[in-house]
Amino acid sequence: MCGIFAVSGETSDAGMRVLEGLKKLEYRGYDSWGIAVRAPEGHVPIEKEIGKISHVEQVFVDAHEAIGHSRWATHGGVTRENAHPHQVGRVTLVHNGIFENYKEVKEEGPDHAFLSETDTEVIAVMINHLLEEGKSSEEALRTAAEKIIGRFALLVMIEGISGILAARRGSPLIIGRGEEETFIASDIPAFLAHTNVVNYLDDDEMVHIDGAKVQFSSLQTGELIEKRNIEVPWKVEEAEKGDYPHFMIKEIFEQKETIARAINHEDALVEEAIELLQSCNGVYFVACGTAHKAAMAAEYFFAKFSHRKINVVPASEMPSFEQFINEKTAIVAVSQSGETADLLEILERGQKKGAKVLAMTNVESSTIARIADVHLPINAGPEKAVASTKATTAQMAILFLLACADGNRMNEGRQILRSVSGNINDLLNPRYEDLVRTVAQEIMNHSTLFIIGRGSLYPMALEAAIKIQEVSYIHAQGFPAGEIKHGPIALIEEGTACLVLGDDQETLSNATELKSRGAMIIGVSTTQADIFDHWLRVPDCGGAQSIATVVPIQILAYHLAVLRGLDPDMPRNLAKSVTVK
């Protein structure tokens, strides 16, 4: 959570550049924002406010260095005082992460009249105190970092010392190398308009940028580190809304291509992933939120195509099963961002016990991608809307391919997925979107929505619920179709809206049970049935039906949000990558 951005270089509008960069990172946190610049006279003024940075037009002019932050509150409420940057003496800094032991360090530290309730201000106090004791800026940052238990990405400006210092442990930081300027950001899209040449900062490393000069060193020993410049293949347009009103609908429509791209891996890489799975005795698929629902779909893919029973566990529940993790275990991590804290912690602890990690992420520079033994990129391109859409189907496509490859059916798997991709391409057109919008109009004022599905469509019922909840704020709940008669059916009243995923006989019987209690039935299936009050057609995709079924639901969730006057890209209380526990 939180987006951070810095620029140093031959520019006189560093403040505006940080403003533009932060707008591109706003999906990471959007409850308040702040920017600090090094003024020509040497002091460091700050502008910060609560609210979204997208509404801000102008910040300081005339500066060649600036840092900024877009916040998702952890320690301390959403107030101007708690917004970053925080300034103490000569030190101005922004922070993305969690300083777990900040209360102890605050108590032991020098006397200071704190202005905020944040953990971050404690870091600024520490660094300023160390500078007063005569340490150099690098030494001060290193010594302060030693005291921090937790995760951080820090950007620091110090009065009287030119350039910007940055350090990371557990939260992402990427350096963008311009011709005459250097950028530092939580994610590449923030500086993609200026450069696509990057260096990745690893854990326990720091960097000092000063214009085009960049010096990397170890945060532990101070030893200098050499880094390779890497060109990233992302295009600026991929990270922009273009003609679409929101990122969410743009990303839904990008599924015309992303599924095909997701499976465009060399056979050798898929085989390496399979070797890792087959060399282990126990396999745990671990993920959070929507990625967890994609992993649940994989449970069905593996059962059908390779007759393997896999374990699928939400990362936050994994501690109860960690006793089973050892050097013969494979942990398969599924994550769009590759930074999700609950998941990262399980992987780090698993690796300490000797487990192997196979990761699927959408961000090759992410921490999870970088610590994995084998990484399969999902290649969906930047996903900016908080609600995951194109990354979900890309994850499911790779998981499907993996299951087929595990059952020695890789070619068949690719063939099925190519036809899924073609079918989704045909489905995604304005006429179909209009049809889904009509259904959204029917249910937009409902306060509750139930979704049922059987087999591989059961995880999609859960995914549908997440998608609808997070963007439309309607109480949506998913169930295995056969389970409703064991309790949830008591909630059905005249007119209760129920989405029924699939058209197999048993699911239709369950739908009939709902309908006879007054439910309004919306079928999402390949064929129409008499009991459907409304029908959203899904192309027939055989064993990969769940991948196609999720698409109309994404469109429905999007239009429910828009019709209810909400911003689907930035739902309340959420952030795109959840880097706190």
Answer whether the bond into residue 85 is a cis peptide, omega within 30°: yes
Minimum CB distance to ligand M6R smaller for 289 or for 455:
289
Q: How far is the CB of 238 from ligand M6R (least distance, A)?
A: 17
Catalytic machinery residues: 2, 576
* Shortest reach from residue 360's CB to ligand M6R, in Å: 10
Q: Are 403 and 306 in contact (CB under 8 A)?
A: yes
Minimum CB separation of residue 63 from ligand M6R in Å reads 34
Residue sitting closest to ligand M6R (CB): 289
How close are the terminal C-alpha atoms of the chain, in Å?
Answer: 11
**For residues 67 and 155, what is the distance between their CA atoms, to the nearest angstrom?**
7
- Signed CA dihedral, 229, 231, 237, 241: sign only: negative
C-beta of 581: minimal distance to ligand M6R in Å? 12
Residues forming contacts to ligand M6R in the complex (CB under 6 A) are 288-291, 335-337, 340, 343, 386-388, 466, 470, 577-578
- What is the Cα–Cα distance from 336 to 293, expressed in whole angstroms? 12
CB of 386 to ligand M6R, least distance (A): 5
The CA distance from 480 to 506, in Å, is: 11
Q: CB-wise, 255 or 577, nearer to ligand M6R?
A: 577
Nearer to ligand M6R, 465 or 484 (CB): 465
Q: Among residues 83 and 372, whose Cβ is nearest to ligand M6R? A: 372
Task: Pick between residue 314 and residue 539 the one whose CB is nearest to ligand M6R.
Answer: 314
DSSP label at residue 201: P
Query: What own/partner pairs with CB < 8 Å and gap ≥ 24 does 302-307 have?
Result: 302/403, 302/406, 304/403, 304/456, 304/543, 305/400, 305/403, 305/404, 305/406, 305/407, 305/409, 305/413, 305/543, 306/403, 306/404, 306/406, 306/407, 306/409, 307/407
What is the distance between the alpha carbons of residues 345 and 170, in angstroms, rounded to a whole number? 10
Is the Cβ of residue 106 or residue 370 nearer to ligand M6R in the bound state? 370
- Report whether 53 contacts 33 (CB < 8 A): yes
Q: How far apart are CA 123 and CA 141, in angstroms?
A: 9
Alpha-carbon span 286 to 401, nearest angstrom: 18
* Shortest distance, position 453 Cβ to ligand M6R, whole Å: 18
